[in-house]
Amino acid sequence: MFDLVLLGDVLAGTARLGTPIAFAALGGVIAERGGLYNIGLEGQILAGALGAAAGSFATGSALIGLGCGVICGLISGLFLGYMSIRLRINQLVGGIALNLLLAGLTAFLSRQIFGAQAGGARVEGFTQIHVPLLSDIPVLGPSLFSQDPLFYLLIGMAILAWYWLMKTPKGLDLRAVGENPKAADLAGVPVFRMQYLAIAVSGALAALAGGHLVLSQVYVFAEGMSAGKGFIALAAIILGRWSPLGAVCAALFFGFCDAVQFKLQFTSPEVPYQLFLILPYLASLIALVLLATKASAPAGVGRPYDREHR
């Protein structure tokens, strides 16, 4: 019986810890399928978190806060897009620069908005939604059907992203741009417009991760609160093999490992909890080496498209 309680705890923790990683990973998949690395996920999570906190702080509405966060994410995505698509700066350098910039800027702006008070200002957040009947199922119920609204939003977004990318003509266009921009261009696909769209959506999804951190987890904005989740998301993209649903599953696996190591630190201090921290990275690495064939990563990712270039 105790073990079931423990399992329920870990599953609930998995959903809570995995959701932000999953949003960011979903964003990363959209960008990479369009041929752009989004190394700036980490910074965009922070932008989304600050936007969400500021919006909710100003209006007292978590929903408006989430909207503000998404707008911040869109803008930061478009800025990265400008660097990658228009200026053709190396996408890794651009992403690293964006992360540095947004880490500083969000810290600066948060002190302008909330003042220097320790702990920051508490903002209005989301409350959990208990799905009637289903949430009463033992073990699974509380973890799957008593989550905050953003967890359900994540599931919806993941299915939507999968459908759009795999089943609609526009999604096919985007994948064509990611695989071979020249061919897509010749076939009449507006390459740059598709890429801007992808990177903006990518930034918005990463911002939802930040929104989850602020509005569903801690209800304050804290400097550097993304704490590497944007980089973990990059690993989840690989483990999920560049598929929206795969990346979300991979991100939830990362969340599961994190939840297990938290539990272990309390229940069994003799087991090195770091093992569970290393496990997801190791799994991604092995997946990258063993599973990744040339077909899984978009062929054109990371290479700026130049119409004049033969």
Residue among 223, 169, 174, 166 nearest 202 (CA) = 174
- CB of 273 within 8 A of CB of 32? no
What single string gives the DSSP state of each residue in 130-148? --TTGGGSTTHHHHHHS--
Nearer to other proteins, 125 or 300 (CB): 300
The reply on whether position 121 binds other proteins by CB under 8 A is no
Can you tell me whether residue 310 is helix, strand or coil? coil
Nearer to other proteins, 11 or 98 (CB): 98
Q: How far is the CB of 274 from other proteins (least distance, A)?
A: 4
Q: How far is the CB of 8 from other proteins (least distance, A)?
A: 27
Q: How far is the CB of 106 from other proteins (least distance, A)?
A: 8
Residue 203 has which token pair?
């930034």
- 213, amino acid identity: L
Window 75 to 104, contacts with other proteins (CB under 8 A): 83, 87-94, 96-104
Q: Please name the residue ranges forming H helices in 115-243.
A: 140-145, 149-167, 169-179, 181-186, 191-212, 229-239
The reply on whether position 288 binds other proteins by CB under 8 A is yes
Window 147 to 206, contacts with other proteins (CB under 8 A): none
The reply on whether position 7 binds other proteins by CB under 8 A is no
The reply on whether position 284 binds other proteins by CB under 8 A is yes
Residue 300 CB contacts under 8 Å (≥ 6 apart), including other chains? 35, 177, 178, 179, 180, 181
- CB of 294 within 8 A of CB of 301? no
Q: Which of 4, 5, 60, 111 binds other proteins (CB under 8 A)?
A: 111
Q: How far is the CB of 290 from other proteins (least distance, A)?
A: 10
Window 23 to 42, contacts with other proteins (CB under 8 A): 37
Which residues in this chain contact other proteins in the complex, by CB under 8 A?
37, 83, 87-94, 96-105, 107-108, 111-112, 223, 228, 231-232, 234-235, 238, 272, 274-275, 277-278, 281-282, 284-285, 288-289, 292, 294, 297, 301-304
